[in-house]
Chain A
Amino acid sequence: MHIRYTDALIIGGGLAGLRSAIATSERGLDTIVLSLVPVKRSHSSAAQGGMQASLGNSIMGEGDNEDIHFSDTVKGSDWGCDQEVARMFVQTAPKAIRELAAWGVPWNRVVKGERAVVINAKHTTITEKEEAHGLINARDFGGTKKWRTCYTADATGHTMLYAVTNEAMKRGVVIEDKKEAISLIMKDGQCFGAIVRDLKKGGLSAYVAKGTMIATGGYGRIYKQSTNATICKGTGHAIALEAGAYLGNMEAIQFHPTPMVPSGILLTEGCRGDGGVLRDKDGYRFMPDYEPEKKDLASRDVVSRRMLEHIKKGKGVKSSYGDHLWLDISILGREHIEKNLRDVQDISMTFNGIDPADKDENGWMPVLPMQHYSMGGIRTTPKGQSVNIKGLFSCGEAACWDMHGFNRLGGNSVSETVVAGMIVGNYFADFCEETGIAIDTKMVQDELGKQDEYILGILACDGNEKIFDIKDKMRNIMQDKVGIFRNGKDLEEAVEELKILLQKTKNITVANKCRLLNPELEEAYKVPMMLKVALCVAKGARDRTESRGAHFREDYLKRDDENWLNRTISYWKNKDDLEPALKYEELDIMKMEIPPAFRGYGRKGFILENPLSQKRQEEVDKIIENHKSDRGSLQEKLMPYELQAEYKIKNQRLGDEDE
Chain B
Amino acid sequence: MSREITITALKYNPSDCNSKPTFVDYKLQEEPGMTLYIALTKIKATVDHDLSSDFVCRAGICGACGMIINGKPKLACKTLTSDFKDGKIELLPLPTFPLIKDLSVDTGSWMKNMSIRVNSWIVTNEKTDISKLEKRIEPEVADEVFELDRCIECGLCVAGCSTAIMRKDFVGAVGLNRVARFSIDPHDERTDEDFYELIGDDEGIFGCMSLLACEDYCPKNLPLQSKIAYMRRKMIKV
- Is there an interface contact between B115 and A178, defined as CB atoms closer than 8 Å? no
A74 to B219, CA, bound (A): 40
- Is there an interface contact between A652 and B121, defined as CB atoms closer than 8 Å? no
Best-surrounded residue of B51, B106, B120, B146 (most CB of chain A within 10 A): B146
- Closest CB of chain B to A42's CB: distance in Å? 8
The residues of B that contact A166 with a CB separation of less than 8 Å are 115, 120-122
- Is there an interface contact between A41 and B56, defined as CB atoms closer than 8 Å? yes
Contact of B130 among A102, A167, A511 (CB under 8 A): A102
- The total of chain B residues at the interface (CB under 8 A) is 64
Segment at the interface with B among A128-136, A384-392, A485-493: A128-136
Contact of B64 among A37, A95, A111, A652 (CB under 8 A): A37
- Is there an interface contact between B52 and A517, defined as CB atoms closer than 8 Å? yes
- Closest CB of chain A to B116's CB: distance in Å? 6
* Chain B 60-76 near chain A by CB (<8 Å), digits 1 or 0: 11111000000000000
- Is there an interface contact between B150 and A158, defined as CB atoms closer than 8 Å? yes
Contact of A652 among B100, B131, B137 (CB under 8 A): B131
- A117 beta carbon closer than 8 Å to chain B: no
Per the 8 Å Cβ criterion, residues 98-155 of B in contact with A are 100-101, 106-108, 111-112, 115-116, 119-122, 124, 126, 128, 130-139, 142-143, 145-146, 149-150, 152-153
The residues of B that contact A102 with a CB separation of less than 8 Å are 122, 124, 126, 128, 130, 134-135, 187
Per the 8 Å Cβ criterion, residues 231-265 of A in contact with B are 231, 262-263, 265
- Is there an interface contact between A200 and B49, defined as CB atoms closer than 8 Å? no
- Closest CB of chain B to A600's CB: distance in Å? 31
- A9 beta carbon closer than 8 Å to chain B: no
The residues of A that contact B188 with a CB separation of less than 8 Å are 104
Contact of A108 among B107, B121, B138, B139 (CB under 8 A): B139
The residues of B that contact A101 with a CB separation of less than 8 Å are 134-135, 137, 187
- Is there an interface contact between A229 and B130, defined as CB atoms closer than 8 Å? no
- Is there an interface contact between A104 and B57, defined as CB atoms closer than 8 Å? no
- Is there an interface contact between A516 and B45, defined as CB atoms closer than 8 Å? no
The residues of B that contact A96 with a CB separation of less than 8 Å are 130
- Is there an interface contact between B134 and A159, defined as CB atoms closer than 8 Å? no
- A230 beta carbon closer than 8 Å to chain B: yes
- A433 beta carbon closer than 8 Å to chain B: no
- B225 beta carbon closer than 8 Å to chain A: no
- Is there an interface contact between B136 and A134, defined as CB atoms closer than 8 Å? yes
A288 to B50, CA, bound (A): 51
Q: How many A-B residue pairs have CB under 8 A?
A: 202
Contact of B121 among A104, A111, A351 (CB under 8 A): A104
- Is there an interface contact between B49 and A46, defined as CB atoms closer than 8 Å? no
- Is there an interface contact between B111 and A511, defined as CB atoms closer than 8 Å? no
- Closest CB of chain B to A49's CB: distance in Å? 13
Best-surrounded residue of A37, A103, A650 (most CB of chain B within 10 A): A37
For B221, the closest partner residue in chain A by CB is A346
- Is there an interface contact between B112 and A175, defined as CB atoms closer than 8 Å? yes
For B58, the closest partner residue in chain A by CB is A230
- Is there an interface contact between A229 and B62, defined as CB atoms closer than 8 Å? yes
- Is there an interface contact between B58 and A652, defined as CB atoms closer than 8 Å? no
- A563 beta carbon closer than 8 Å to chain B: no
For A167, the closest partner residue in chain B by CB is B121
- Is there an interface contact between A103 and B49, defined as CB atoms closer than 8 Å? no
- Closest CB of chain B to A513's CB: distance in Å? 11
The residues of B that contact A652 with a CB separation of less than 8 Å are 131-133
- Closest CB of chain B to A201's CB: distance in Å? 7
- A202 beta carbon closer than 8 Å to chain B: yes
Segment at the interface with B among A271-279, A518-526, A616-624: A518-526
- Is there an interface contact between A265 and B59, defined as CB atoms closer than 8 Å? yes
- A170 beta carbon closer than 8 Å to chain B: yes
Best-surrounded residue of B61, B115, B135, B187 (most CB of chain A within 10 A): B61
- B190 beta carbon closer than 8 Å to chain A: no
A343 to B138, CA, bound (A): 23
- A352 beta carbon closer than 8 Å to chain B: yes
- B233 beta carbon closer than 8 Å to chain A: no
Known: A98-B134, A106-B143, A108-B142. A351 touches B149 (CB 8 A): no
The residues of B that contact A38 with a CB separation of less than 8 Å are 64, 107-108, 111-112, 153
- B32 beta carbon closer than 8 Å to chain A: yes
- Closest CB of chain B to A40's CB: distance in Å? 6
- B55 beta carbon closer than 8 Å to chain A: yes
- Closest CB of chain A to B223's CB: distance in Å? 14
- B13 beta carbon closer than 8 Å to chain A: yes
- B15 beta carbon closer than 8 Å to chain A: yes
Contact of A106 among B121, B130, B145 (CB under 8 A): B145
A108 to B64, CA, bound (A): 27
* Chain A 493-531 near chain B by CB (<8 Å), digits 1 or 0: 000000000000000000110101111100100000000
The residues of B that contact A517 with a CB separation of less than 8 Å are 13, 15-16, 52, 100-101
- Is there an interface contact between B128 and A262, defined as CB atoms closer than 8 Å? no
For B144, the closest partner residue in chain A by CB is A106
A201 to B15, CA, bound (A): 7
For A177, the closest partner residue in chain B by CB is B108
For A516, the closest partner residue in chain B by CB is B15
A200 to B54, CA, bound (A): 12
- Is there an interface contact between B133 and A653, defined as CB atoms closer than 8 Å? yes
A651 to B128, CA, bound (A): 13
- B78 beta carbon closer than 8 Å to chain A: yes
Contact of B50 among A169, A343, A518, A659 (CB under 8 A): A518
Per the 8 Å Cβ criterion, residues 165-200 of B in contact with A are 182, 185, 187-188
For B75, the closest partner residue in chain A by CB is A350
The residues of B that contact A539 with a CB separation of less than 8 Å are none
Known: A40-B153, A652-B132. A104 touches B16 (CB 8 A): no
- Is there an interface contact between A106 and B100, defined as CB atoms closer than 8 Å? no
Known: A45-B62, A177-B108. A468 touches B45 (CB 8 A): yes
The residues of B that contact A266 with a CB separation of less than 8 Å are 59
- B33 beta carbon closer than 8 Å to chain A: yes
- Is there an interface contact between B128 and A99, defined as CB atoms closer than 8 Å? yes
- B96 beta carbon closer than 8 Å to chain A: no
- Is there an interface contact between A169 and B121, defined as CB atoms closer than 8 Å? yes
The residues of A that contact B149 with a CB separation of less than 8 Å are 104, 106, 152, 158-159, 162
- Closest CB of chain A to B221's CB: distance in Å? 9
- Is there an interface contact between B152 and A158, defined as CB atoms closer than 8 Å? yes
- Is there an interface contact between B133 and A262, defined as CB atoms closer than 8 Å? no
Known: A45-B57, A169-B112. A519 touches B121 (CB 8 A): no
The residues of B that contact A472 with a CB separation of less than 8 Å are 45
- B81 beta carbon closer than 8 Å to chain A: no
The residues of A that contact B33 with a CB separation of less than 8 Å are 262-263, 351-352
- Is there an interface contact between A229 and B57, defined as CB atoms closer than 8 Å? yes
- Closest CB of chain A to B53's CB: distance in Å? 9
Per the 8 Å Cβ criterion, residues 139-186 of A in contact with B are 152-153, 155, 158-159, 162, 166-167, 169-170, 175, 177-178
Q: Which 3 A-B pairs have the closest CB atoms?
A: A38-B108, A134-B136, A520-B49
20 contacts between A and B (CB under 8 A): A37-B54, A37-B62, A45-B62, A46-B59, A96-B130, A104-B121, A104-B185, A106-B143, A109-B142, A134-B139, A152-B146, A152-B149, A158-B61, A167-B121, A169-B120, A200-B100, A200-B106, A265-B58, A512-B49, A517-B100
Which positions in B face A, CB cutoff 8 Å?
13, 15-16, 32-33, 35, 44-46, 49-52, 54-64, 78, 80, 100-101, 106-108, 111-112, 115-116, 119-122, 124, 126, 128, 130-139, 142-143, 145-146, 149-150, 152-153, 182, 185, 187-188
